[in-house]
């Protein structure tokens, strides 16, 4: 990763030399835009809902999502596409093909990173493992310890992607599986405390890796009003620092707009979730500036 970044910067420097010294004398403040697209809880909804559906007529569908994403990428090549888990289970496509089609289509749509939801264990951990060859994207989970399972080494705690010189760190968090998934399905997968894991991840991504942007892909759930002790995206946001965006899932929460939350340092950050079944696509644009004056005014969030 470091090597690739260096090469990119070298190329940029060479280009500047070619321009004949301009680069040496002045650096105009540059604005960079990173677009994060995201889905969650698509639950094998490959086809759009039909016109007769009682609740979501003519909504969703992978082929439509594909054209939308392609257009957004055309507009801004510095785009990442992420999924917050529960890719599997919900239509007969899963029962017939075990998730093969879901992973193949996500690969065709050029998903970059996904995390693992509880339903992704529905054909057992072997069932998930069996479909991995069809996924040309990475899985991240920092609080599932897979070391005593068949998934060992196939899921990383985090991934770093550099787009336009902006270093983006993405880590994953999964929900507690006990009581939600049968033990015989998830086998020896160990669940680690999400808050502690997130604190460790942000330390690594911010202090060691010097990421410009930190994203948490979470399948913890947006909020549990009746179980305030249960960890959720809103709680996690308040208890941690340096996370710019939590992309959530599990609770199938339809938000009118992303939620602005104050983190443990009192800084504003975003928590978002886009319902379920591929009905919506989340789009968060991050604008970076090298102008120190602008930076001093803090980050404005427009939702």
Residue with the two structure tokens 């880590």: 171
The span of 79-87, 152-160, 234-242, 290-298 binding another protein (CB under 8 A) equals 290-298
Among 101, 116, 215, 236, binds another protein (CB under 8 A): 101
User: Is 163 among the residues that bind another protein (CB under 8 A)?
Assistant: no
Packing angle between helix 124-131 and helix 100-108, nearest 10 degrees? Answer: 40
The span of 49-57, 144-152, 190-198, 228-236 binding another protein (CB under 8 A) equals 49-57
Q: How far apart are CA 162 and CA 25, in angstroms?
A: 26
User: Is 114 among the residues that bind another protein (CB under 8 A)?
Assistant: no
113: nearest Cα among 81, 145, 155, 72: 81
Nearer to another protein, 229 or 302 (CB): 302
User: Is 162 among the residues that bind another protein (CB under 8 A)?
Assistant: no
Among 2, 3, 4, 14, binds another protein (CB under 8 A): 14
Q: What residues from 202 to 261 belong to the interface with another protein (CB under 8 A)?
A: 212-213, 244, 255, 257-258
The span of 15-23, 136-144, 197-205, 230-238 binding another protein (CB under 8 A) equals 15-23
User: Is 53 among the residues that bind another protein (CB under 8 A)?
Assistant: yes
Q: What residues from 116 to 135 belong to the interface with another protein (CB under 8 A)?
A: 122
Strand 213-218 and strand 190-191: the pairing is unpaired
Among 40, 87, 90, 175, binds another protein (CB under 8 A): 90
User: Is 137 among the residues that bind another protein (CB under 8 A)?
Assistant: no
Q: How far apart are CA 38 and CA 98, in angstroms?
A: 23
HSE on the CB side for 159, CA within 13 Å? 19
Q: How far apart are CA 238 and CA 261, in angstroms?
A: 7
* Other CB atoms within 10 Å distance of the CB of residue 279: 21
């Amino acid at each position: 990763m470091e090597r690739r970044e260096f090469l990119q910067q070298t190329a940029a420097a060479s280009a500047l030399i070619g321009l004949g010294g301009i680069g040496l004398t002045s650096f105009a403040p540059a604005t960079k835009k990173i677009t994060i697209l995201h889905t969650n809880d698509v639950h094998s909804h490959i086809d759009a809902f039909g016109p007769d559906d009682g609740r979501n007529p003519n909504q969703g569908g992978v082929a439509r999502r594909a054209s939308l994403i392609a257009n957004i990428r055309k507009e801004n090549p510095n785009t990442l596409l992420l999924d917050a888990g529960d890719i599997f289970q919900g239509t007969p496509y899963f029962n017939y093909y075990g998730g093969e089609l879901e992973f193949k289509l996500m690969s065709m749509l050029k998903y970059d990173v996904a995390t693992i939801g509880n339903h992704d264990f529905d054909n057992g951990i072997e069932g998930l493992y069996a479909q991995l060859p069809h996924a040309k994207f990475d899985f991240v989970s920092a609080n599932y310890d897979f070391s005593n399972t068949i998934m060992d080494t196939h899921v990383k705690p985090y991934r770093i992607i550099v787009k336009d010189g902006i270093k983006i760190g993405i880590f994953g968090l999964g929900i507690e599986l006990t009581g939600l998934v049968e033990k015989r399905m998830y086998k020896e997968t160990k669940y680690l405390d999400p808050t502690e894991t997130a604190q460790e991840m942000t330390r690594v991504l911010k202090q060691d890796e010097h990421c410009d942007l930190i994203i948490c892909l979470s399948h913890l759930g947006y909020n549990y009003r009746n179980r305030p002790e249960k960890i959720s995206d809103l709680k996690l946001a308040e208890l941690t620092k340096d996370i710019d965006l939590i992309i959530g899932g599990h609770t199938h929460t339809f938000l009118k707009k992303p939620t602005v939350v104050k983190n443990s340092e009192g800084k504003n950050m975003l928590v978002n979730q886009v319902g379920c079944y591929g009905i919506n696509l989340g789009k968060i644009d991050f604008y970076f500036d090298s102008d120190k004056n602008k930076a001093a005014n803090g980050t404005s969030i427009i939702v």
